[in-house]
């Protein structure tokens, strides 16, 4: 795989650079449905000095001021995704992305792949797509141990005994299979992360709205984070002792 095919960078609205971006034909923009939802959430949560609404969604839900904040379905795109998803016969051939289309070039160097076909990553985001990528990978890798397991079961049935000589070899085989599976998934996950522009990306967890603390530098990273108050922490430690 050529890593230079998948290049991600900061978007620039300059008209001179628009030809460099892939344009979604349904939205007439480089931003697909998932990108638009992320941008809306950023605008809602960003502070007002950063031209945002400055809303704390979790606190608003906790105070019963709003019920929930959920994105709406695009029924046209959802129907296209269902048609692609259900047309697949094998459980590991899922429409995760269109990245393979970038490798389909004609002699003139133009793309000939179907980039505008909706995929799991485009509609549900990279996190959900990575889950289904793991599910497809795991299902495919289970074929070999399942075949070996069936052979062991037939041997046990034939010998009318659970303690046949092939059982220890099956246990040894499964130990090797687990190691090979994990290493292969690491490579597969890194490949998807590179194609989707999420390499070295770490998800951040927001504190619960019920949590009450004070802003202090983190002893590990030095960043300002909401941490438990010292008096409350000391009280818990003394009770636990």
Q: Specify if 124 maps to a domain.
A: no
Q: Specify if 64 maps to a domain.
A: no
Considering only CA atoms, which of 58, 21, 55, 59 is closest in space to residue 40? Answer: 55
In angstroms, rounded to a whole number, what is the distance separating the alpha carbons of residues 232 and 89?
Answer: 57
- Per the structure, the complete domain to which residue 220 belongs is given by 211-241
How many C-beta atoms surround the C-beta of residue 76 within 10 A?
A: 10
Continuous H helices in 97-229: 120-124, 126-141, 143-159, 166-196
Per-residue burial over 8-45, b = 16 or more CB atoms within 10 Å of its CB, e = otherwise: eeeeeeeeeeeeeeeebeeeeeebbbbbeeeeeeeeeb
Q: Specify if 99 maps to a domain.
A: no
For 26, the token pair is 């349904």
Q: Specify if 2 maps to a domain.
A: no
Q: Specify if 235 maps to a domain.
A: yes
CB contact at 8 A, 189 and 134: yes
pLDDT reported for residue 241:
58
Measured over the CA atoms of residue 209, residue 210, residue 213 and residue 217, the dihedral's sign is negative
pTM of the model: 0.72
How many Å from the N-terminal Cα to the C-terminal Cα in the chain?
56
pLDDT reported for residue 114:
46
Number of domains in the chain: 1
Residue with tokens 């890798």: 141
Q: What is the dihedral of CA 91, 95, 100, 101, to 10 degrees?
A: 140
- Phi, psi torsion values for 14, nearest 5 degrees: -60, 135
Mean pLDDT, each 10-residue run in order, the chain (241 residues): 67 80 72 83 87 84 84 83 76 68 49 58 86 90 93 90 87 94 93 82 68 75 73 66 58
Q: Specify if 217 maps to a domain.
A: yes
What is the 8-class DSSP label of residue 79? Answer: H
pLDDT reported for residue 2:
57
Q: Specify if 98 maps to a domain.
A: no
pLDDT reported for residue 111:
47
């Amino acid at each position: 795989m050529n890593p230079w095919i998948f290049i991600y960078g900061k978007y620039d609205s300059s008209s001179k650079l628009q030809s460099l971006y892939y344009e979604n034909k349904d939205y007439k923009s480089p931003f697909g449905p998932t990108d638009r939802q992320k941008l809306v959430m950023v605008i809602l949560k960003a502070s007002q000095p950063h031209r945002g609404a400055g809303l704390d969604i979790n606190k608003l839900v906790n105070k019963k001021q709003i019920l929930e904040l959920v994105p709406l379905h695009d029924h046209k795109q959802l129907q296209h995704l269902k048609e692609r998803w259900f047309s697949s016969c094998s459980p590991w051939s899922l429409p995760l992305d269109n990245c393979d289309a970038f490798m389909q070039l004609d002699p003139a160097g133009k793309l000939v792949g179907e980039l505008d076909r909706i995929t799991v990553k485009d509609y549900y985001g990279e996190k959900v797509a990575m889950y289904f990528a793991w599910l497809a990978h795991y299902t495919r890798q289970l074929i070999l141990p399942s075949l070996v397991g069936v052979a062991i079961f037939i041997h046990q049935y034939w010998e009318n005994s659970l303690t046949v000589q092939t059982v220890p070899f099956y246990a040894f085989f499964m130990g090797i299979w687990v190691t090979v599976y994990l290493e292969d998934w690491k490579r597969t996950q890194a490949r998807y992360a590179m194609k989707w522009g999420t390499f070295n990306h770490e998800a951040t967890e927001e504190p619960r709205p019920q949590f009450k603390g004070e802003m202090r530098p983190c002893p590990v990273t030095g960043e300002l984070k909401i941490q438990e108050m010292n008096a409350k922490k000391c009280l818990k430690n003394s009770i636990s002792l």
